[in-house]
């Protein structure tokens, strides 16, 4: 029995059952499953937006309304064909979601959900009040969709239309998530890291927002031609909250969670709407209360929704553990060894009254390892942030490859060939080690999300993953390619960050405490790797506490204390410098 409980069999059984339903089920069941399909399409958009992108929207019902009203209005008042109105509806949705996304996606924290509530309500009132949309009675007489000369006039015929659309959306979404574009989307929550890898996070939030809006719009179009009439009620805030609940309940980060959540909520709603008034002996929308309670329970007990729990029951197919070899990606020309790559000139960084960096100066050359050391709180990480554009300097000048960069953001700096790791590891714990490293190679690929949805990116994808695997192997993580990053010990997670940085083919590598948490042999392997990179002409700027590691490896050392320059020189000069000894004996805790 257990042998047949694999995802592939489960999926086949599900699809067969789905295809057979209209042949034996009664009209009520078919209607319910139609509504489940329609809701799942909207919830799928929310899986992308909320589960993947971390953006909460209560306003999706409004986009469903846009699709529904566009076709209702244009078919009945202007005699357009439903296929024409589908395109028109999607065009309108594109324009509206671009505008709304542009305004709301810049909002942070709880302002974003509030923003979605605001436009959700606005669009709802628009449907009810715009001349020609039929007010609160709506528009009827919407013609059926015709496909290959067949009128899809009844629920059974339309059933296949709805589910074929949904399955196509699921497959393309899954393809997209399993690609360079998808990896960037899945890392959107770690915005600082993602931007530092050269990824335009606002663009990806926008893309997710627009895809979610399109799914909702198509659902609305289908709904209008299923019902053959529309009024504003299904597009208000209440249904908007229900859609979000479906995504959260099902499993906000999994595509099948959308189907599960939509099924559960739609079915439960039918049952409760029937049952509760009888139980209570009064009429009213009591199911809303039950949903409210359920939401709280889910958020407490199953943050990731029910789908992941269900998946634990079904034995998972082992992930593919082999990679197809691919042609290496082209590499950039490194500057001549010994030439200045990075110049930091009188850089000051203030946090309010605290001066974390005070007039710091340093130069790093191609093919050298430059170490920055100093007690905790000396300002080393702050200086890294100034250099990499993560937290721009308050004053001073920074030149990288001859170009002024102190005003540039981390994304622009990454494009110039700088890559970094973080003192506090920033990986997507649920993605594999391989996928995490591949994030670093983002700028070396060019296929967009539409190409990846249709699997037109496979050649490039193979090359990107091959590069990631190669860099991981160099860093000694070849054994762990297919493990989730979160399952590695912290020390190894830091090494994943180094591999990720190397995937960008950097001119300058900034490593913030790369050896922390590593065992002796691992440290030695890391030192050998950095030495090899130096030999290839990469410039390396290193913050590290382990003195043996630094002194045996670095070409030059700069010591910082209290945000200031304390000493600079060759390792052996630093080791015997009385000022340094005093600073370290006085305050160093490692």
Name the residues that contact ligand ADP, by CB under 6 A: 351, 354, 356, 374, 376-382
**Residue 179's closest CA among 419, 483, 484, 464?**
464
Residue 170 Cβ, how far from ligand ADP at the closest point, in Å?
41
Nearest-angstrom CA–CA distance, 584 and 590: 9
Q: Which CB sits closer to ligand ADP, 308 or 377?
A: 377
Residue 377 Cβ, how far from ligand ADP at the closest point, in Å?
4
Q: Does 381 bind Mg ion (CB under 5 A)?
A: yes
Residue span binding Mg ion (CB under 5 A) among the ranges 219-227, 318-326, 367-375, 422-430 = 422-430
Residue span binding Mg ion (CB under 5 A) among the ranges 24-32, 108-116, 380-388, 572-580 = 380-388
Cβ–Cβ < 8 Å for 319, 482:
yes
Residue 181 Cβ, how far from ligand ADP at the closest point, in Å?
31
For 268, counting Cβ atoms within 10 Å of its Cβ (0-12 exposed, 13-18 middle, 19+ buried), the class is: middle
Residue span binding Mg ion (CB under 5 A) among the ranges 131-139, 406-414, 421-429, 452-460 = 421-429
Distance (Å) of CA 506 to CA 60, 362, 401: 41, 19, 12
Q: Which does 376 bind (CB under 5 to 8 A by kind): ligand ADP, Mg ion, none?
A: ligand ADP
Q: Does 423 bind Mg ion (CB under 5 A)?
A: yes
Q: Which CB sits closer to Mg ion, 227 or 423?
A: 423
Q: Which does 198 bind (CB under 5 to 8 A by kind): Mg ion, ligand ADP, none?
A: none
Q: Which does 511 bind (CB under 5 to 8 A by kind): ligand ADP, Mg ion, none?
A: none
Q: Which does 222 bind (CB under 5 to 8 A by kind): Mg ion, ligand ADP, none?
A: none
Residue span binding Mg ion (CB under 5 A) among the ranges 165-173, 231-239, 376-384, 570-578 = 376-384
Residue 563 Cβ, how far from ligand ADP at the closest point, in Å?
7
Distance (Å) of CA 22 to CA 34, 37, 301: 10, 14, 36
The conformational region for residue 425 under phi > 0 = left, psi -120 to 50 = alpha, else beta, is beta
Q: Which CB sits closer to Mg ion, 435 or 546?
A: 546
Distance (Å) of CA 319 to CA 177, 338, 386, 481: 16, 45, 40, 11
Q: Which CB sits closer to ligand ADP, 222 or 559?
A: 559
Distance (Å) of CA 159 to CA 38, 42, 45, 535: 10, 16, 20, 64
Q: Which does 351 bind (CB under 5 to 8 A by kind): Mg ion, ligand ADP, none?
A: ligand ADP
Q: Does 173 bind Mg ion (CB under 5 A)?
A: no
Q: Which CB sits closer to ligand ADP, 102 or 351?
A: 351
Cβ–Cβ < 8 Å for 146, 82:
yes
Q: Does 588 bind Mg ion (CB under 5 A)?
A: no
In DSSP terms, which residues pair with 348 in a beta bridge?
395
**Residue 113's closest CA among 218, 238, 241?**
241
Q: Which does 234 bind (CB under 5 to 8 A by kind): ligand ADP, Mg ion, none?
A: none
Nearest-angstrom CA–CA distance, 33 and 37: 6
- Residue carrying structure tokens 């000048």: 397
Residue 39 Cβ, how far from ligand ADP at the closest point, in Å?
43
Q: Which CB sits closer to ligand ADP, 286 or 562?
A: 562
Nearest-angstrom CA–CA distance, 231 and 200: 39
Residue 543 Cβ, how far from Mg ion at the closest point, in Å?
6
Q: Does 361 bind Mg ion (CB under 5 A)?
A: no
Q: Which CB sits closer to ligand ADP, 166 or 378?
A: 378
E strands, 169-246, where?
A: 229-230
In DSSP terms, which residues pair with 470 in a beta bridge?
none
Q: Which CB sits closer to ligand ADP, 31 or 394?
A: 394
Cβ–Cβ < 8 Å for 274, 285:
no
Q: Which does 577 bind (CB under 5 to 8 A by kind): ligand ADP, Mg ion, none?
A: none
Q: Which CB sits closer to Mg ion, 72 or 390?
A: 390
Residue 423 Cβ, how far from Mg ion at the closest point, in Å?
5
Residue span binding Mg ion (CB under 5 A) among the ranges 19-27, 239-247, 249-257, 377-385 = 377-385
Cβ neighbors of 193 (< 8 A, separation 6 or more) are: 187, 422, 426
* Residue closest to Mg ion, measured at CB: 381
Nearest-angstrom CA–CA distance, 381 and 391: 10
The DSSP result for 528-576, as a single string, is HHHHHHHHHT-EEEEE-S-HHHHHHH-SEEEEEETTEEEEEE-HHHHHT
Cβ–Cβ < 8 Å for 361, 344:
yes
Q: Which CB sits closer to ligand ADP, 298 or 567?
A: 567
Residue 588 Cβ, how far from ligand ADP at the closest point, in Å?
11
Q: Which CB sits closer to Mg ion, 183 or 380?
A: 380
Instruction: Record the tokens describing residue 145, joined without a space.
Output: 């969709």
Residue 387 Cβ, how far from ligand ADP at the closest point, in Å?
12
Q: Which CB sits closer to ligand ADP, 371 or 431?
A: 371
Q: Which does 129 bind (CB under 5 to 8 A by kind): ligand ADP, Mg ion, none?
A: none
Instruction: Record the tokens describing residue 130, joined without a space.
Output: 């715009």
Cβ–Cβ < 8 Å for 224, 142:
yes
Distance (Å) of CA 528 to CA 334, 364, 511, 523, 531: 20, 20, 15, 9, 5
At what angle are helices 201-227 and 60-78 packed, to 10 degrees? 50
Instruction: Name residues contacting Mg ion, limited to 68-97 (CB under 5 A).
Output: none
Q: Which does 382 bind (CB under 5 to 8 A by kind): ligand ADP, Mg ion, none?
A: ligand ADP
Q: Which does 56 bind (CB under 5 to 8 A by kind): ligand ADP, Mg ion, none?
A: none
Instruction: Record the tokens describing residue 66, joined without a space.
Output: 């846009």
Based on C-alpha coordinates, what's the Rg of the chain?
28
The DSSP result for 103-120, as a single string, is HHTT--TTHHHHHHHHHH
Q: Which CB sits closer to Mg ion, 179 or 381?
A: 381
Residue span binding Mg ion (CB under 5 A) among the ranges 157-165, 374-382, 435-443, 485-493 = 374-382
The contact set with Mg ion (CB under 5 A) reads 381, 423
């Amino acid at each position: 029995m257990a042998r047949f409980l694999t995802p592939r069999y489960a999926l086949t059984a599900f699809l067969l059952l789905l295809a057979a339903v209209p042949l034996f089920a009664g009209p009520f069941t078919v209607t319910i499953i139609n509504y489940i399909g329609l809701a799942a399409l909207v919830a799928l958009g929310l899986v992308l937006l909320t589960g993947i992108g971390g953006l909460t929207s209560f306003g999706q019902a409004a986009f469903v309304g846009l699709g529904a009203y566009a076709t209702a209005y244009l078919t009945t008042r202007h005699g357009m064909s439903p296929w024409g109105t589908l395109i028109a509806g999607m065009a309108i949705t594109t324009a509206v979601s671009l505008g709304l996304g542009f305004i709301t996606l810049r909002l942070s924290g709880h302002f974003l959900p509030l923003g979605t509530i605001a436009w959700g309500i606005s669009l709802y009132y628009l449907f009810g009040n715009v001349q020609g949309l039929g007010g609160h009675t709506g528009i009827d007489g919407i013609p059926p969709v015709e496909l290959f000369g067949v009128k899809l006039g009844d629920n059974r015929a339309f059933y296949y239309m709805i589910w074929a659309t949904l399955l196509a959306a699921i497959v393309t979404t899954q393809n997209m998530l399993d690609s360079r574009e998808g990896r960037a989307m899945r890392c959107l929550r770690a915005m600082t890291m993602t931007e530092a890898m050269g990824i335009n996070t606002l663009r990806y939030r926008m893309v997710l927002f627009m895809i979610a809006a399109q799914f909702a719009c198509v659902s609305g179009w289908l709904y209008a031609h299923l019902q053959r009439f529309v009024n504003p009620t299904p597009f208000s805030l209440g249904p908007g909250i229900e859609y979000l609940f479906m995504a959260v309940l099902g499993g906000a980060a999994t595509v099948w969670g959308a189907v599960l959540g939509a099924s559960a909520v739609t079915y439960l709603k039918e049952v409760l709407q029937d049952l509760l008034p009888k139980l209570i002996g009064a009429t009213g929308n009591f199911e809303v209360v039950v949903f409210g309670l359920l939401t709280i329970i889910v958020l407490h007990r199953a943050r990731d929704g029910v789908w992941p729990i269900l998946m634990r029951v079904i034995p998972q197919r082992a992930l593919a553990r082999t990679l197809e070899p691919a042609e290496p990606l082209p590499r950039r020309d490194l500057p001549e060894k010994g030439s200045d790559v990075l110049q930091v000139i009188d850089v000051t960084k203030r946090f309010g009254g605290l001066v974390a960096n005070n007039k710091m100066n340093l130069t790093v050359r191609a093919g050298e390892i430059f170490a920055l050391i100093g007690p905790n709180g000396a300002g080393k990480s702050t200086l890294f942030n100034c250099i990499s554009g993560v937290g721009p300097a308050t004053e001073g000048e920074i030149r990288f490859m001859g170009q002024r960069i102190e005003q540039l953001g981390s994304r622009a700096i990454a494009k110039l060939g700088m890559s970094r790791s973080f003192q506090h590891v920033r990986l997507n714990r649920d993605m594999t080690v391989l996928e995490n490293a591949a994030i670093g190679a983002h700028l070396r690929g060019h296929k967009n999300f539409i190409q990846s949805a249709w699997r037109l990116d496979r050649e490039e994808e193979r090359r990107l993953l091959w590069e990631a695997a190669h860099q991981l192997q160099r860093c000694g993580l070849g054994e762990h390619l297919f493990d989730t990053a979160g399952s590695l010990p912290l020390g190894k997670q830091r090494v994943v960050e180094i591999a990720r940085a190397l995937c960008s083919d950097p001119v300058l590598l900034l490593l913030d405490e790369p050896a922390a948490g590593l065992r002796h042999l691992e440290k030695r392997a890391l030192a050998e790797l950095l030495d090899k990179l130096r030999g290839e002409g990469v410039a390396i700027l290193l913050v590290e506490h382990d003195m043996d590691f630094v002194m045996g490896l670095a070409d030059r050392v700069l010591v910082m204390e209290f945000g200031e320059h304390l000493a600079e020189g060759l390792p052996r000069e630093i080791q015997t410098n009385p000022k340094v000894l005093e600073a370290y004996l006085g305050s160093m805790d490692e």
